[in-house]
Chains A and B, each alone.
Chain A
Amino acid sequence: DSGVTQTPKHLITATGQRVTLRCSPRSGDLSVYWYQQSLDQGLQFLIQYYNGEERAKGNILERFSAQQFPDLHSELNLSSLELGDSALYFCASSVGGRTDTQYFGPGTRLTVL
């Protein structure tokens, strides 16, 4: 158990819908990262927040957005969902942001029908 929690564990929805994935970092960690893992794309970095502020952006689509709240939990919002958005979405956290080890949560499996 990494100490990072993600909800829900599974999510099934239809194309065009909007969903919110939630992540709670390890106690004391200030950085939260979001990753997408699909069969054809592998593990892709989406975005990082540090203490409430966006710090790094990866291959995140404009239909996706994220935020980190004052209590440091984070939410990833996915809208206008497409079949290709079906994937495992992982959240990771670290104490800071430099060379600190990232601890990954168990992931949310999103299925878009």
Chain B
Amino acid sequence: LAKTTQPISMDSYEGQEVNITCSHNNIATNDYITWYQQFPSQGPRFIIQGYKTKVTNEVASLFIPADRKSSTLSLPRVSLSDTAVYYCLVGDMNTGFQKLVFGTGTRLLVSP
């Protein structure tokens, strides 16, 4: 499984756009990229998943460049409730049964 590297923490203000970049230099052809959000003492919550180019849902956008060695989670107009830890994961589509490997995550603090 490809190792991921993310910033340890980020600070932002309400209403701003936040971009969290994850590096996965050893990503394999069959790997896909998933982001999870975790609040204190709660289980992680799926945010978005993609393989290449751009994916958008009602919560976030995921940008993946052509070489797929990195990805950027974009949170538009964050609010205080977006304060959480964000995990970037890379998973193998061909293993049949995925095994999520969580890194240290990025601790996002949104201030008023």
Query: What is A's interface to B at a CB cutoff of 8 Å?
Result: 2, 4, 31, 33, 35, 42-45, 48, 50, 55-56, 58, 88, 90, 92, 97-107, 109
Contact = CB atoms under 8 A, between A and B. Distances in A.
Given A42-B104, A43-B87, A99-B32, A104 B99 contact: no
Contact residues of A: prevailing secondary structure: strand
Interface residues of B, number: 24
Contacts, number: 67
A58 B99 contact: yes
A112 to B, nearest CB: 18
Contacts of B29: none
Interface in B14-30: none
B24 to A, nearest CB: 16
B46 A98 contact: no
Nearest to B32: A99
B101 interface: yes
Nearest to A91: B43
Nearest to A48: B97
Given A92-B43, A103-B46, A50 B101 contact: no
A105 B44 CA distance: 8
